[in-house]
């Protein structure tokens, strides 16, 4: 065990291996050598990612009367990014080694020795490098047709503020939530899916009256930390890390990160920011359209302040994987298990016949087919029962259902719990209700 983080040694390497072996995450375009810092989610990964996304959406939208959903386009008017400050300020200082021609962020390199080739004194002077991906809309590739792949989802919310306000009949304070892809041409990505060039964000912008912003800021940072804990993430590996005055983004009055203790140390996967009225004011100025809020009862006008909660979906999935990964010894044999909350688990139940005879395969197939209409279910008939259990442990499947000789006689099956390893007999006709009570509980319950 690592003395610093409490994770198994070489956890990130083990996660990369397990993710490929069990179909969670693959390197993008691997057959062609891969694309740097871009990943594909396999059969289990896409289910896990969907479950985390849906848990977030249920928490932020479905359970609240004061938050509306949105799905804005990835391509936006280029003036959006001028108004937001991304065209001018969304840059990193970039240096290049003249010997090996590798490029690095200047603030990530100590001294004058190249991290790749080891040659000293060969760095170029730093130059600003814009992180947005640029492309062209229409048949002509010139400056008038230039557009950007969005580097964040927040601006789609800000430019739709009035549309959502007017159509939903909400009143300030209220929020707009969105989940979607964003793209950043990162110079130094790494640590598996922690820093990638294509990623998914879960963002909510909460619009409040100026003067109430600090109270709402503190409210939302506590709510977001509690939600992360509700996913089953261990509290001693989570912390709120405030930004110092010299760390604040250009739009922020205050900011705090929710950090997780990864094998590489504390890293941020969600941020809560007091963005003041910066965004709506800038878009009002650049578009010429009024983005004020008018109180119906008083006629009072103001541009709302914004409290932002911005989580990386891919990073949150990585937190869930890292925190659920365990290695242990069971009856003299090593076992790797993902202790995912049942609601987040990609596969809810696996169904096995103990052996391929005496009607067991047919009964197991019927049970799997019945469950599949309600839960993600895996039906496995190959290998020893112990090997089948181990495969499902690595996949994070919370329950394994085995049809044996007694099942044929009395209609009961054995249900094995992934975490406790306890086995109980349950009537096959009641197995769906048994699983429902244990799977459909909210994460953290």
Looking at the fold, whether 312 and 344 belong to one and the same domain comes out as no
Q: Is residue 173 part of a domain?
A: yes
Query: Within 13 Å of residue 428, how many CA atoms lie on the same side as its CB?
Result: 22
149-199 pLDDT tens trace? 999 999 999 999 999 999 999 999 999 999 999 999 887 778 999 999 999
- Are 407 and 360 within 8 A, CB to CB? yes
Looking at the fold, whether 96 and 60 belong to one and the same domain comes out as no
C-alpha distance across the termini of the chain, in Å? 28
Looking at the fold, whether 259 and 221 belong to one and the same domain comes out as yes
Please tell me the predicted confidence (pLDDT) of residue 2. Answer: 38
Domain that includes residue 239, residue range: 11-79+153-321
Please tell me the predicted confidence (pLDDT) of residue 122. Answer: 86
Looking at the fold, whether 165 and 284 belong to one and the same domain comes out as yes
Looking at the fold, whether 169 and 281 belong to one and the same domain comes out as yes
| Nearest CA among 175, 169, 163, 252 for reference residue 208 | 175
Q: Is residue 225 part of a domain?
A: yes
The total of structural domains in the chain comes to 3
Q: Is residue 213 part of a domain?
A: yes
Looking at the fold, whether 261 and 403 belong to one and the same domain comes out as no
**CATH number of 350's domain:** 3.40.50.800
Looking at the fold, whether 367 and 419 belong to one and the same domain comes out as yes
Looking at the fold, whether 308 and 231 belong to one and the same domain comes out as yes
DSSP code for 367: H
CA distance linking residue 202 with residue 57, whole number of Å: 8
Looking at the fold, whether 56 and 96 belong to one and the same domain comes out as no
62-87 pLDDT tens trace? 999 999 999 999 999 999 999 998 88
**Mean per-residue pLDDT, 124-151:** 86
- Are 346 and 44 within 8 A, CB to CB? yes
Q: Is residue 329 part of a domain?
A: no
Single pTM value for the model? 0.90
Looking at the fold, whether 278 and 348 belong to one and the same domain comes out as no
**Mean per-residue pLDDT, 263-273:** 96
CA distance linking residue 24 with residue 44, whole number of Å: 5
200-243 pLDDT tens trace? 999 999 999 999 999 999 999 999 999 999 999 999 999 999 99
Please tell me the predicted confidence (pLDDT) of residue 378. Answer: 97
Select the more confidently predicted residue: 144 or 388.
388
Looking at the fold, whether 303 and 371 belong to one and the same domain comes out as no
Q: Is residue 210 part of a domain?
A: yes
Q: Is residue 332 part of a domain?
A: no
Looking at the fold, whether 387 and 293 belong to one and the same domain comes out as no
Rounded to whole angstroms, what are the CA distances from 7 to 70, 227, 267?
Answer: 38, 22, 15
Q: Is the pLDDT of residue 1 over 50?
A: no
């Amino acid at each position: 065990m690592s003395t610093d983080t409490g994770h198994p040694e070489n956890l990130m390497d083990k996660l990369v291996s397990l993710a490929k072996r069990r179909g969670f995450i693959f390197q993008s375009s691997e057959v062609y050598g891969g694309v740097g810092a871009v990943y594909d989610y396999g059969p289990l990964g896409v289910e896990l990612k969907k479950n985390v996304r849906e848990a977030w959406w249920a928490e932020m939208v479905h359970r609240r009367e004061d938050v509306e959903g949105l799905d804005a386009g990835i391509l936006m008017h280029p003036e959006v990014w001028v108004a937001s400050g991304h065209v001018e300020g969304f840059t990193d200082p970039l240096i290049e080694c003249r010997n090996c021609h590798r490029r690095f962020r200047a603030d990530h390199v100590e001294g004058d020795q190249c991290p790749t080739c080891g040659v000293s004194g060969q760095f170029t002077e730093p130059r600003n490098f814009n992180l947005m991906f640029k492309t062209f809309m229409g048949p002509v590739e010139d400056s008038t047709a230039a557009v950007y792949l969005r580097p964040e989802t927040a601006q789609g919310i800000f430019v739709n503020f009035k549309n959502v306000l007017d159509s939903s009949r909400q009143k300030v304070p209220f929020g707009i939530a969105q989940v979607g892809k964003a793209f950043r041409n990162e110079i130094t990505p790494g640590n598996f899916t922690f820093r990638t060039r294509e990623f998914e964000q879960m963002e909510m912008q909460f619009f409040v009256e100026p003067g109430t912003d600090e109270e709402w800021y503190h409210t939302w940072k506590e709510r977001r930390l509690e939600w992360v804990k509700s996913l089953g993430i261990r509290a001693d590996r989570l912390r709120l890390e405030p930004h110092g005055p010299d760390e604040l983004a250009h739009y922020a009055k205050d900011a705090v990160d929710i950090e997780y203790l990864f094998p590489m140390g504390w890293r941020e996967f969600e941020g809560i920011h007091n963005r003041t009225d910066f965004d709506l004011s800038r878009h009002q100025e650049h578009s010429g359209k009024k983005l004020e809020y008018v109180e119906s009862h008083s006629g009072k006008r103001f541009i709302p302040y914004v409290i932002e909660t911005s989580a990386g979906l891919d990073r949150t999935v990585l937190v869930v994987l890292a925190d659920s990964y365990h290695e242990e010894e069971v009856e003299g044999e090593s076992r790797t298990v993902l202790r995912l909350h049942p609601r987040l688990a990609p596969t809810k139940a696996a169904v096995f016949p103990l052996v391929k005879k005496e009607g067991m395969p047919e009964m197991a197939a019927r049970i799997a087919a019945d469950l599949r209409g309600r839960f993600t279910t895996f039906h496995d008939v190959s290998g020893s029962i112990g090997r089948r259990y181990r495969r499902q442990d690595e996949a994070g499947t919370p329950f394994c259902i085995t049809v044996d000789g007694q099942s044929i006689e009395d209609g009961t099956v054995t249900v094995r719990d992934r975490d406790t390893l306890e086995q109980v007999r349950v009537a096959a006709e009641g197995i769906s209700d048994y699983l429902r009570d244990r799977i459909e509980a909210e994460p953290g319950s």
